[in-house]
Amino acid sequence: MVNGEKASSELVACAEPQVIPRSEHSISRKHFSPNAIKVLYRLKDGGYDAYLVGGCIRDILLGVEPKDFDVVTNATPEQIKKLFRNCRLIGRRFRLAHIVFGREIIEVATMRGHHEASADKNQTSQSSEHGQLLRDNVYGSIEEDAERRDFSINALYYSIKDFTIHDFANGMDAIANRKIELIGDPETRYREDPVRMLRAVRFATKLDMEIAQPTKDPIYELSELLSHIPAARLFEETLKLFLNGKAQENYHLLREFGLFKQLFPALDDIIENSETGFETKFIAQMFANTDKRINAEKKVTPAFVYAALLWFPLLKRSEQLQKENMPLFDAYAQAMNHVLSENAQHVAVPKRFTLGARDIWHIQLRLDKRAGQRAYRLSQQPRFKAAYDFLLLRVESGEQEQADLAQWWTEYLQQDVNGQKDMVKGLGHGDSNKPRRRFRRKPKKKPSES
């Protein structure tokens, strides 16, 4: 509900929810995963309250097929584990139960309470000096749990007892008005968990909604709080932002709010000081292409996305080292180490993806070395297709000096073996294509017999 006593017009969860009977909403059990229903009924039969909550309810009301089904209950994690043999408890910051059904996991959380009110020594909470919640294993009622939810559209609870929806923060109205609204004081909620700023952006683009003004205003000033979030967690959040089919929109909103600078400061600085705007066009085009592939249900590797995001910091660092008289390939290799190490302090990209990014970068230097068997060998590299797409992206974004090279590779990949050999023969004998001369060792003379 809107609190008229506060100038910020912040949303406060209602103590008494609006209860919407089954006859007045469109949600049916047929919309749910059978495994989620099993979990709900076992908790209910065990004597506990159980609700489906958050994104799955929101998405069904919006006509979107939900991907995950989250359950909330008044049972503690230990009590949940006793009910389910296929249960594992995870998390330190938030203690959660995962009920495993093969590849599907139903996440079950205990209703959270207000941490300052807990006197139970087994329930722990801890905040940082910036107001960020580091631990939050404090349990409470459904009303308290609703107040702890981030956005009003996520404070909707579906009861398995009578199939009603409990709306604690006018989430139904927010869905109807297509508004992303924080519950509670926005600045306090962002300080509790700065990742909520990224979630606001992601929900706005994913659900085609607008961020409400009171929810939007503090982001500009508080964006630097992301620097206090573990880099590994920010990697997971960037995956959600960049691989959800709305990456280009997310990129522009992140830059507008100053959030992109906290994730990729080196690239953001280059973009801000660019005289040509090529870097902005390159990144925007990369995200547009990524969205196109994802929406066409084609595979996208995070290695390609992060190779593009760190490409310009890599070039800048390499050029600096070359000015110090370091050879090209040595400067390039050292720049890779520097850029990846520096970026890991902000977004910790796992090694399996940084290795892929390295391969894409390495191949960029070798694409014009095509004489002899080089073109064939290069085309057989595991990351060649990604590197070729990277070259096309460079040309598509305006790097016209690479257009002839990109056209050559495009034609080469369309040829059969004989056609490829003819193309290599037609290259001429420029220095860049001259095959390396092989020197044979002279055979050793046999010792003379005495």
For 435, which DSSP code? P
Distance (Å, rounded) from C-alpha 183 to C-alpha 192? 12
Distance (Å, rounded) from C-alpha 33 to C-alpha 227? 37
Distance (Å, rounded) from C-alpha 322 to C-alpha 144? 59
Partners of 133 in the β-ladder: 127
Query: What counts of helices (H) and strands (E) characterise the chain?
Result: 22, 12
The one catalytic residue among 49, 68, 269, 368 = 68
Distance (Å, rounded) from C-alpha 278 to C-alpha 80? 54
Residue 70 designated active-site:
yes
Residue 59 designated active-site:
no
Distance of CA 449 to the CA centre of its chain: 74
Which residues, in sequence order, are CB contacts of 142 under 8 Å at separation 6+?
Answer: 49, 51, 72, 74, 111, 157, 166
The one catalytic residue among 59, 136, 145, 150 = 150
Residue 193 designated active-site:
no
For 101, which DSSP code? E
* Selection from 260, 258, 234 nearest residue 247 by Cα: 260
For 66, which DSSP code? -
Q: Which residues are catalytic?
A: 68, 70, 150
